[in-house]
Amino acid sequence: MARLALLSTSDKTGLIDLAKSLVTEFDYEIISSGGTAKTLKEAGISVTKVSDYTGFPEILGGRVKTLHPRIHGG
């Protein structure tokens, strides 16, 4: 089973370094919300959007992203 890390942040300070470390040093796969996923992809980091992982879109104008059983259930 893959090791997954959920990254979703408004302040992107240090995000790229954290994600690179998780992927290269600890062999994690990254799952991320829309804006954070965009930042990671632009940095060349492999990432799966939460909406792709769950099969459901972000709701309420993007304010609700991770409230889904697939996320909360691990």
Q: Are strands 47-49 and 28-32 parallel, antiparallel or unpaired?
A: parallel
Place of tokens 């290269």: 24
Compute the residue count for the chain: 74
Q: Inform me whether the pLDDT recorded for 20 exceeds 70.
A: yes
The pLDDT assigned to 7 comes to 92
Domain of 29 in residue numbering reads as 3-72
Domain at 49, CATH number: 3.40.50.1380
What's the pLDDT tens digit per position in 25-64? 999 999 998 889 999 999 999 999 988 887 766 665 666 6
Q: Among 17, 57, 14, which Cα is nearest to 33's?
A: 57
Give just the sign of the alpha carbon dihedral 19, 23, 27, 31: positive
Cα angle 3-9-10, degrees, rounded to a multiple of 5: 170
Query: 0.85 cut: is pTM over it?
Result: no
Q: Domains in the chain: how many in total?
A: 1
Arithmetic mean of pLDDT, 62-69: 61
